[in-house]
């Protein structure tokens, strides 16, 4: 009986601990915007989506539409609002920045710029920030505060 009691008290081998969760901060999200804007300033939009967006296919569709309307980013956008959206069954934890700026031809835009913590590092969901798109988690009801610029192609 004593042998059983001693065996029952033997500590179990230590299980590996899960990696500590990273706090996803507003500063991390804003640094992604700074990186994306600097990347466009340095390299233009070549390979933009592969470099900056977690949703590459959506980014490429938005970029194609923006270029088809001759819309290119101008000045550095300003963050006018930020909202932290917790993870759900369908969505990753997100910082949704609302950015405002001007396109290369001087038109004002206001866009959502969502950032997720993707594989441990923050990354822009769509990347495109200069077309006035909304992101809302319910795309059937897009936000009314966005301002899309008009087609800038010469007529």
CATH number at residue 31: 3.10.450
Q: Is residue 154 in a domain?
A: no
Asked whether the beta carbons of 48 and 141 are under 8 A apart, the reply is no
Say yes or no to pLDDT of 20 above 50.
no
Q: Is residue 78 in a domain?
A: yes
Reported as a pLDDT band with limits 50, 70 and 90, residue 118 is confident
Tell me how far CA of residue 148 lies from CA of 42, 107, 117, 145, in angstroms: 24, 9, 27, 10
Q: Is residue 84 in a domain?
A: yes
Q: Give the pLDDT confidence of 42-64 residue by residue, as tens digits.
A: 988 889 999 999 999 999 999 99
Q: Which domain holds residue 103?
A: 24-124
Q: What does pTM read for this prediction?
A: 0.81
* Tally of structural domains, the chain: 1
Q: Is residue 150 in a domain?
A: no
């Amino acid at each position: 009986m004593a042998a059983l009691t001693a065996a029952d008290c033997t500590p179990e081998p230590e299980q590996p601990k899960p990696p500590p969760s990273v706090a996803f901060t507003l500063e991390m999200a804003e640094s992604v915007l700074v990186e994306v804007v600097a990347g466009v300033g340095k390299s233009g939009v070549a390979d933009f989506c592969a470099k900056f967006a977690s949703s590459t296919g959506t980014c490429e569709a938005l970029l194609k539409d923006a270029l088809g309307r001759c819309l290119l980013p101008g000045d550095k956008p300003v963050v006018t609002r930020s909202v932290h959206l917790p993870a759900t069954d369908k969505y990753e934890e997100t910082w949704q920045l609302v950015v405002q700026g001007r396109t290369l031809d001087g038109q004002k835009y206001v866009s959502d710029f969502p950032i997720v913590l993707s594989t441990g590092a923050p990354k822009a969901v769509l990347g495109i920030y200069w077309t006035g798109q909304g992101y809302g988690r319910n795309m059937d009801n897009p936000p009314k505060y966005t301002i899309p610029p008009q087609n800038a192609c010469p007529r």
